A and B are shown apart, each in its own frame.
Chain A
């Protein structure tokens, strides 16, 4: 395959995706001088950069998570505002993944590249929806890049959780969720479904929940498990997935362990975590949404970052487009932890 015509102004390096005419990296995996960060998850927002450009919400997330490591100079850019950096124009557009998440739109020499970061297409009460930007080059994630991944409607999964709660009112429902984004979305979905009781949190979830509330996302009554006076029978408790099998959960009343993740679609995966109630709720696009988005961008060339690249690159070929797996280091199998 001949080298890509985009290669001169955007290409992968050991530090991450680099834009030479702009002199910046997008979601670099190592400390760099100038970084644009799509969103606050740890595999995208690394510590130790000098200057960081992101949405104000993402910068707030980085300060909460990384403290002094969040970078020296912070510059915020609102969704839709255009900024010229060197020879390129940069715009951020909502990615619908978590609060503050953005696609990075780079325009150079009459060409447009969109770097999606992580994204989803479904409605999420805790962040603005994904905005489709037509482009020449689309850099996409492929976390759920296999035809077996199709996320169920959120309402159905929330319904299953509430139904289980009604069936086993004497048992605590312990739900493993990614602490940033998934946690707050699950709370918002429960509120939307009419669940008004306090939701109990593992200590690790508190920081992100407080930040969301500060940034104007109401989450309703939340309490810390560590401060519970009662057994929490019949209550919903949210914890990081790693705490599901912890000694920590022993204090709960015969817990039903649940796990909210796109991976729960595959039974072996759910069994691997010993989950009793797998909930297919994801902050990433599923396979049909991935294909539909790639098609809708109109891009002739698609670069695939983290996830199951092989199947998606094959599919892109079937669609008559040029596909390329970037295999960037540092980006992890997300939606788990």
Chain B
């Protein structure tokens, strides 16, 4: 635990990317298994637990320190966990510290009620850096300024591999990653992930432009609703099943109800939805189940998960990706009819008689759970990435934009302790090829109280700069902003003013790079 806590302590103060890489490499080289593997899991946000510790800490601390002294200390330090880490009374000589691997192994199985007494023992055997690191570990999110990708890069470079090498097998290995480290140490071949439920990069679509529409021959395309859930890939095989977000994050832990019934061998593409009595619930309902490491029984009942399938990448270990969509679709239908996995159905193709009818369908698209239409070329194989001319998304006519959160400001009144006013931006590319975000508006409504808490937490965890009550954040969170109109404006750097913007929803699932561009907004100017 000592080496790990010193690593975290270093990382949190180290701004430079290369310096961070070196610190991590030194650690991974010098630390034995399985500790380094659990450290890698922690740094890649792959620890399967998250304990709310504030209350527990208050309980423990009242037994150790005068409450008034604790209060004054907390006021000075500003953070309960750090205060406890610093002020926890320490014996003159500490017993041998527990090992990271032992702590993680125990936490994985720990009952919440047992945490308090175990935590007390651990705190009694660690120094202040160790106590601080332990409390960070318990929350399940380290927040030491290291992305999962950077941690993977560190181990990759340690073994003279590329980070893509690591990513290709990442989901085929699990903490404490013994085969991975044996390979990186040059002691074993690359872990074999054939048939394992690893992530396959997704095929993505382009927005339908006017020229695409004009050139479109409907006979070549399948038309489907674009469901308002989140795109997922379910990969099952070798008795394991994983649920990946479009960016390859394993989100299965939040959907045990869904995965419990998936004992097949296939890799499928579909939309994750909340469904009640055959009706797709609004996106907000799905939101309740995202970004959680654990789910309560209540949530499983209130927000039942459902998977609406539209493509198959692999069935019974046969790679279907080279086949045209029309054949993949036939295989998916046949397979689904016999396998009948629970809580799934197929996205039913629409069959408009012609383009006029399709245009009418699109114009009439209003359902809460439908985002628009998808047009997919029947002859196209499944191509990773965003190939041109194969898949089109045709978003329904709604005045919403996906913008990137840039600045957050403290609110007033009862919101004064929250970052509740959000300045958001859109991407633009300058003549010199530089792409940057420009602010296009500010919203301070539209979210629920629970969402405000999450936004506030996100802002605090991603702050890059502060100016009085305003924090600048890393461009990493997409806000779907609803609004009344877009007008030209000479007052704003962007040249646009968005009227009455409000947060329609928070797109936790969407990469910031895919948010809307300034040109798109310009195209919405009121005539």
Q: Is the CB of A276 within 8 A of B13?
A: yes
Report the bound CA distance from A150 to B86 in whole Å.
8
A152, A168, A268, A276: the one within 8 Å of B77 (CB): A268
- Asked if A148 and B76 sit within 8 Å, CB to CB, the answer is yes
User: Complex Cα distance A278/B86, Å?
Assistant: 15
B residues near A146, Cβ cutoff 8 Å: 69, 72-73, 76, 87
A229 at the interface (CB under 8 A from B): no
Considering only residues 258-297 of chain A, those with a C-beta below 8 Å from chain B are: 265-268, 270-271, 275-278
Mark B75-105 against chain A: 1 for CB-CB distance below 8 A, else 0: 0111100110011001000000000000000
Given contacts A147-B87, A168-B22, contact A308 B76 (CB under 8 A): yes
Contacts of A277 in B (CB 8 A): 13
A167 with B22, Cβ < 8 A, contacts A147-B87, A276-B13, A277-B13 known = yes
Q: How distant is A269 from chain B, measured CB to nearest CB, in Å?
A: 9
A residues near B78, Cβ cutoff 8 Å:
268
Contacts of B90 in A (CB 8 A): 150
One of A25-33, A127-135, A243-251, A311-319 contacting the partner: A311-319
Q: Please measure, in the bound complex, the distance between the C-alpha atom of A94 and the C-alpha atom of B273, giving whole angstroms.
A: 74
Give per-residue flags for B271-303: 1 if the beta carbon is below 8 A from chain A beta carbons, else 0.
000000000000000000000000000000000
State how many angstroms separate the Cβ of B175 from the closest Cβ of chain A: 26
Closest CB of chain B to A126's CB: distance in Å? 26
Q: Which of B22, B68, B128 is A150 in contact with, Cβ under 8 Å?
A: B128
Q: Which residues on the A side are within 8 Å of B22 (C-beta)?
A: 167-168
Given that A147-B65, A308-B76 are known contacts, is A265 also in contact with B86, CB under 8 Å in the complex?
A: yes
From A148, A254, A271, A275, contact of B83 by CB (8 A): A148
Q: Is B14 an interface residue when CB atoms closer than 8 A count as contact?
A: yes
Q: Are the C-beta atoms of A266 and B76 separated by less than 8 Å? A: yes
A310 within 8 A of B: yes
* A267-B73 contact, Cβ under 8 Å, with A147-B87, A150-B128: no
8 Å CB contact of A148 from B12, B13, B16, B86: B86
Chain B residue at minimum C-beta to C-beta distance from A264: B13
- Is B128's CB under 8 angstroms from A311's CB? no
Interface presence of B26 (CB below 8 A):
yes
The reply to whether B14 and A148 contact each other, CB–CB distance below 8 Å, is no
A267 touches B82 (CB 8 A): yes
* B389 beta carbon closer than 8 Å to chain A: no
Tell me whether A314 and B14 are in contact (CB under 8 A).
Answer: no
State whether A147 touches B69 (Cβ < 8 A).
Answer: yes
CA distance A105 to B86 in the complex (A): 34
> Contact residues of A with B, CB < 8 Å?
146-150, 152, 167-168, 254, 265-268, 270-271, 275-278, 308, 310-311, 314-315, 318
Say whether B87 contacts A275, CB under 8 Å: no
Considering the chains assembled together, what is the distance between the CA atoms of A148 and B64 in angstroms?
Answer: 13
CB distance from B20 to the nearest CB of A (A): 11
Q: How far is the CB of A330 from chain B (nearest CB, A)?
A: 23
Residue of A nearest to B13 (CB): A276
14 inter-chain pairs at a CB distance below 8 angstroms, sorted by A residue, are A146-B69, A148-B73, A148-B76, A148-B77, A148-B86, A148-B87, A150-B86, A167-B23, A168-B19, A266-B82, A268-B77, A268-B79, A308-B76, A318-B66
- Taking CB atoms, residues of chain A closer than 8 Å to B82 are 266-267
Contact of A315 among B23, B69, B76 (CB under 8 A): B69
List the A residue with the shortest CB-CB distance to B76. A146
The 4 A-B residue pairs whose C-beta atoms are closest, nearest first, are: A148-B86, A147-B87, A311-B72, A148-B87
Residue of B with least CB distance to A168: B19
Question: In the complex, what's the smallest C-beta–C-beta distance from A294 to chain B, in angstroms?
Answer: 15
Name the interface size band of chain B.
20 to 34
Tell me the chain B residues, 101-142 only, with Cβ under 8 Å from chain A. 128
B256 at the interface (CB under 8 A from A): no
Closest Cβ neighbor of B26 among chain A residues: A167
Task: Tell me which residues across on chain B come within 8 A of A318, comparing CB atoms.
Answer: 66
For A275, list chain B residues within 8 Å (CB): 13
B15 within 8 A of A: yes
Mask: chain B, 1-37; 1 = CB below 8 Å from A; 0 = not: 0000000000011111001001100100000000000
Could you tell me the distance between the alpha carbons of A168 and B14 in the complex, rounded to whole angstroms?
Answer: 12
User: Given A148-B73, A148-B76, A318-B66, 7 other A-B contacts at CB below 8 A?
Assistant: A146-B73, A148-B77, A168-B19, A168-B22, A265-B128, A268-B77, A276-B13
- Chain A residues whose C-beta falls within 8 Å of the C-beta of B16 in the assembled complex: 254
Q: Smallest distance from the beta carbon of A225 to chain B beta carbons, Å?
A: 22
Interface centre among A147, A150, A168 (most CB of B within 10 A): A147
Contacts of A152 in B (CB 8 A): 128
Query: Is A276 within 8 A of B15, CB to CB?
Result: yes
CB of A172, distance to nearest CB on chain B (Å) = 13
Q: Give, as a whole number of angstroms, the nearest-CB distance from B230 to chain A.
A: 35
Minimal beta-carbon separation of A254 from chain B (angstroms):
8
Determine the chain B residues whose CB is within 8 A of the CB of A267 once the complex forms.
Answer: 12, 82
Q: How far is the CB of A325 from chain B (nearest CB, A)?
A: 13
Distance A268 CA – B12 CA, assembled complex (angstroms): 11
Residues B13 and A278 in contact, CB atoms below 8 Å apart: yes
Asked if residues A314 and B68 are in contact (CB atoms below 8 Å), the reply is yes
Q: Are A147 and B73 neighbours in the complex by a CB distance under 8 Å?
A: yes
B86: A residues at CB distance < 8 A: 147-150, 265-266
**CB-defined contacts of B69 to chain A, threshold 8 Å:** 146-147, 311, 314-315
**Interfacial chain A residues near B83, Cβ < 8 Å:** 148
B13 to chain A, nearest CB (A): 5
Instruction: Provide the residues of chain B in CB contact with A308, threshold 8 Å.
Output: 72, 76
A188 to chain B minimum Cβ distance, whole angstroms, is 25
A277→B82 CA distance, assembly (Å): 18
> Restricting to B35-73, which residues have a CB under 8 Å from any CB of A?
65-66, 68-70, 72-73
Please give, as numbers and ranges, the residues of chain B lying within 8 Å of A168 by CB-CB distance: 19, 22
**Cβ of B15: which chain A residues have Cβ within 8 Å of it?**
276
Check A310–B72 contact: CB distance below 8 A: yes
Least CB distance from B132 to A in Å reads: 8
- Bound CA span A271–B12, Å: 10
Closest to A314 in B: B68
A268 to B76, CA, bound (A): 10
- Cα distance, A270 to B68, chains bound together (Å): 25
Which A residues are in CB contact (< 8 Å) with B72? Answer: 146, 308, 310-311, 314
* Highest count of chain A CB atoms <10 Å: which of B70, B76, B90: B76
CB <8 Å contact, A276 and B73:
no
**Nearest CB to that of A280 among chain B residues?**
B128
Q: A318–B70 Cα gap in the complex (Å)?
A: 14
- Chain B nearest CB, measured from A152 CB (Å): 8
- CB proximity of A268 to chain B, nearest CB, Å: 6
Interface centre among A147, A148, A149, A277 (most CB of B within 10 A): A148
Taken together as a complex, chains A and B put the C-alpha atoms of A308 and B69 apart, in Å, by 11
Q: Name the CB-closest residue of B to A277.
A: B13
Nearest-Cβ distance from residue A202 to partner chain B, whole angstroms: 22
Question: What is the distance, in angstroms, from B315's C-beta to the closest C-beta of chain A?
Answer: 50
Complex Cα distance A311/B75, Å? 11
- A147 to B78, alpha carbons, bound, how many Å? 14
> Contacts of A271 on B, CB cut-off 8 Å?
13
What chain B residues lie within 8 Å of A314 (beta carbons)?
66, 68-69, 72
Q: Chain A contacts of B79 at CB under 8 A?
A: 268
CB nearest to A275 among chain B residues: B13
Nearest A residue (CB) for B68: A314
Residues on the A chain within 8 Å of B65, using CB? 147
